[in-house]
């Protein structure tokens, strides 16, 4: 509280000087540091009272008001007086604050669900190994706060239903696993009990007994009953009342909201839905021609659809057990590890593991995902591989998935971001922008070709399938949310143009419906990174160094695409002047 009062006085004096024509503002670096410190050290709620977070309308209103106040203070900052790192920090803080305002403006808190996740399924991320007494007690504290957590979200969801800003009913097929898997007869079978089965050996028997007794009581009296409440809510209240329309543009203020999401997920205001749709169609045509070349080189007798059917149905392209697909993924990850020094000057210290997607969320989950940890965590990052429904998990796309989620994709970029030096503010080390992060992930799939990761024509086709998948996203996301496409039209378009399994196509389609704009970030970001690399290669010729280029892209951490372009242009100019 003392710090907040000091911040308020400093901020007030800054604002007062900014509003006076006669008075001069202070030092721009110091003023920026004050704003960043206020943002980073602000406690927007009492974490002891709300261990799982605060999700009320009033909370988001206060967050928006704070962001508006902070933006006013930027009038005192002269960007020309700042270093490059400070300029990037200023631009990114403004971007984050503006989105904080938009979060409340568009009432995004009323719709805390996606097709493959939601407020309740996000609790699975709390399930982590217990290393000490602090971990055990904090975990119990969070589990005991479940009733409060659920109550808050029910209030928001009910208001969302009343206002027509809920999720479409069509995306909830199979969603029951997100709560049913937590309703168990024996508390020891609850996924939330699993960390208690492997308590540290340093715990005394007395302490272990007390923790296990508390865990049993918490699972039986808090966790399981709350998931029963969630089940009842969804099946008797939410699903019967939720909307049957598809695109977000069909909801109140939906057209403006979709444009806002386009701007956020591309970190730019230059694109309309029509612009992105046309970019997508152009990319689909280009990639399809590359896929046809591979089919011709394989001397496959049949049409393009025939080849896709062959890939989806031939047993050689599928693992026979979860153990096998995990083993193959681990082998691919280690092969990628070995190539990193040739392409990168700086590598992360944090290791990563390869693990299956948890059973409770696997049926509606994507084929894989990266789950990172904080810099100081004793846990590694994890590349999750979905082992559910193995006949839908194509091995020819596994190299692309691996390099995207593990290295040189999300693990490398995300860990380097966490490990940035003290000159980079903490909010930037914690920041994730999809256009940059997912753009880098897709660029990693392109880079993997140079790393020798694609060893067969089928894996090369898998690379183009994944690239085509992201190009199709530009078409279908805008189709759903701006052009009135039906779900079946999306499924048909994806089926005709990618070799993804039909299961994946259906889960991905539901994801695009439920998460407007996010799917645009991958291809838009990747196109920008490849455009900047091509520019650097062309202008620098023999002076181009791939390790230096990647250092420029990664060394300032997560940035907007405009900031990235400015950095690459400066790099080109610097090399040319040497």
Whether the CA torsion 428, 430, 431, 434 is positive or negative: it is positive
DSSP 416-436: HHHT--TTS-HHHHT---HHH
- Gyration radius of the chain's alpha carbons: 25
Burial class of 494 by CB neighbour count within 10 A (0 to 12, 13 to 18, 19+) = buried
Burial class of 81 by CB neighbour count within 10 A (0 to 12, 13 to 18, 19+) = middle
The pLDDT score that the predictor gives to residue 375 is: 86
User: What is the helix (H) or strand (E) element at residue 354, kind and residue range?
Assistant: strand 352-356
Q: What is the pLDDT of residues 427-443, one digit of tens each?
A: 999 999 999 999 999 99
15 compared with 279, residue with greater pLDDT: 279
For residue 49 the two structure tokens come to: 């009272």
High-pLDDT (> 90) share of the chain, %: 90
Q: At residue 21, does pLDDT exceed 80?
A: no
CA atoms within 13 A on the CB side of 542: 0
Q: At residue 6, does pLDDT exceed 70?
A: no
Label residues 467-486 b or e (16+ Cβ within 10 Å = b).
Answer: bbbbbbbbbbbbbbbbeebe
Q: Could you tell me if 232 and 150 are in contact, meaning their C-beta atoms sit under 8 angstroms apart? A: no
Q: At residue 399, does pLDDT exceed 60?
A: yes
Q: What is the pLDDT of residues 315-332, one digit of tens each?
A: 999 999 999 999 999 999
18 compared with 481, residue with greater pLDDT: 481
The pLDDT score that the predictor gives to residue 230 is: 98
Q: Could you tell me if 339 and 451 are in contact, meaning their C-beta atoms sit under 8 angstroms apart? A: yes
Burial class of 46 by CB neighbour count within 10 A (0 to 12, 13 to 18, 19+) = exposed
**pLDDT (mean) for 28-49:** 96
**pLDDT (mean) for 234-256:** 97
d(C-alpha 224, C-alpha 180), whole Å = 10
Label residues 93-120 b or e (16+ Cβ within 10 Å = b).
Answer: bbbbbbebbbebebbbbbbbbbbbbbbb
The torsion of the CA quartet 85, 88, 89, 90, rounded to 10 degrees, works out to: 120
Percentages of the chain per state (helix, strand, coil), in multiples of 5: 70, 5, 30
Q: What is the pLDDT of residues 63-75, one digit of tens each?
A: 999 999 999 999 8
The distance between the two most distant Cα atoms of the chain, rounded to a whole number of Å, is 80
Q: What is the mean pLDDT of the chain?
A: 94
Whose tokens are 């070349």? That residue is: 293
Question: Among 287, 277, 282, 283, which residue's Cα sits nearest to residue 499?
Answer: 287
Q: What is the pLDDT of residues 184-201, one digit of tens each?
A: 999 999 999 999 999 999
Q: What is the pLDDT of residues 532-562, one digit of tens each?
A: 999 999 999 999 999 999 999 999 999 999 9
Residue 347 — very low, low, confident or very high, per pLDDT cuts 50/70/90? very high
Q: At residue 8, does pLDDT exceed 50?
A: no
Asked if residue 263 has a cis previous peptide bond (ω within 30° of 0), the answer is no
Q: At residue 167, does pLDDT exceed 50?
A: yes
For residue 177 the two structure tokens come to: 């696993």
Residue 3 — very low, low, confident or very high, per pLDDT cuts 50/70/90? very low
SS3 92: helix
**pLDDT (mean) for 449-469:** 97
Report how far apart, in Å, the C-alpha atoms of 111 and of each of 60, 165, 203, 393, 463 are. Answer: 13, 7, 42, 30, 34
d(C-alpha 529, C-alpha 561), whole Å = 8
The pLDDT score that the predictor gives to residue 24 is: 58
């Amino acid at each position: 509280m003392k710090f907040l009062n000091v911040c308020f006085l400093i901020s007030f004096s800054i604002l007062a000087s900014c509003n006076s024509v006669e008075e001069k503002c202070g030092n721009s670096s110091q003023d920026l540091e004050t704003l960043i410190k206020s943002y980073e050290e602000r406690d927007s709620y009492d974490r002891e009272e709300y261990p799982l977070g605060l999700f009320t309308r009033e909370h988001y209103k206060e967050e928006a008001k704070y962001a508006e106040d902070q933006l006013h203070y930027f009038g005192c900052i002269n960007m020309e007086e700042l270093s490059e790192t400070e300029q990037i920090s200023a631009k990114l803080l403004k971007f984050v604050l503006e989105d904080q305002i938009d979060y409340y403006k568009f009432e995004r808190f009323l719709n805390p669900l996606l097709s493959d996740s939601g407020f309740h399924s996000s609790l699975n991320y709390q399930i982590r190994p217990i290393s000490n007494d602090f971990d055990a007690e904090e975990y119990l504290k969070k589990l005991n706060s479940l009733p409060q957590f659920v109550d808050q979200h029910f209030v928001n969801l009910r208001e969302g239903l009343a206002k027509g800003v809920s999720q479409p009913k069509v995306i909830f097929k199979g969603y029951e696993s997100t709560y049913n898997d937590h309703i168990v007869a024996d508390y020891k079978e609850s996924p939330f009990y699993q960390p208690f089965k492997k308590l540290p050996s340093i715990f005394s028997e007395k302490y272990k007994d007390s923790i296990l007794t508390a865990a049993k009581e918490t699972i039986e009296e808090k966790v399981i009953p709350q998931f029963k409440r969630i089940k009842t809510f969804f099946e008797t209240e939410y699903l019967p009342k939720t909307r049957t329309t598809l695109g977000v543009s069909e909801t109140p203020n939906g057209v403006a909201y979709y444009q806002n999401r386009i701007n956020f997920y591309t970190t730019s205001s230059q694109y309309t839905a029509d612009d992105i749709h046309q970019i997508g169609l152009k990319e689909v045509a280009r990639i399809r021609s590359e896929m046809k070349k591979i089919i011709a080189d394989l001397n496959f007798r049949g049409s393009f659809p025939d080849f896709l059917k062959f890939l989806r149905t031939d047993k050689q392209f599928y693992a026979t057990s979860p153990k096998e697909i995990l083993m193959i993924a681990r082998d691919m990850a280690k092969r990628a590890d070995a190539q990193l020094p040739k392409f990168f000057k700086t590598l992360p210290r944090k290791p990563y593991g390869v693990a299956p997607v948890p059973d409770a969320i696997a049926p509606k989950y994507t084929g894989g995902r990266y789950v990172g940890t904080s810099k100081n965590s004793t846990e590694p990052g994890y590349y999750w591989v979905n082992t559910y429904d193995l006949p839908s998990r194509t091995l020819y796309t596994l190299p692309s998935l691996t390099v995207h989620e593990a290295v040189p994709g999300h693990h490398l970029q995300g860990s380097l971001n966490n490990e940035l030096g003290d000159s980079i503010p903490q909010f930037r080390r914690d920041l994730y922008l999809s256009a940059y992060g997912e753009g880098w992930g897709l660029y990693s799939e392109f880079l993997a070709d140079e790393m020798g990761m694609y060893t067969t024509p089928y894996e090369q086709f898998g690379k183009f399938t994944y690239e085509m998948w992201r190009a199709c996203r530009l078409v279908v996301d805008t189709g759903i949310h701006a052009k009135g496409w039906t779900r079946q039209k999306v499924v048909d378009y994806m089926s005709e143009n990618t070799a993804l399994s039909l299961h994946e196509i259906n889960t991905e389609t539901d994801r695009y419906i439920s998460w407007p704009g996010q799917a645009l970030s991958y291809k838009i970001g990747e196109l920008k990174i490849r455009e900047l690399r091509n520019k650097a290669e062309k202008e620098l010729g023999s002076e181009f160094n791939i390790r230096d280029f990647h250092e420029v892209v990664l060394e300032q951490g997560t940035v907007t695409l405009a900031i990235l372009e400015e950095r690459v242009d400066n790099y080109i100019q610097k090399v040319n002047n040497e």
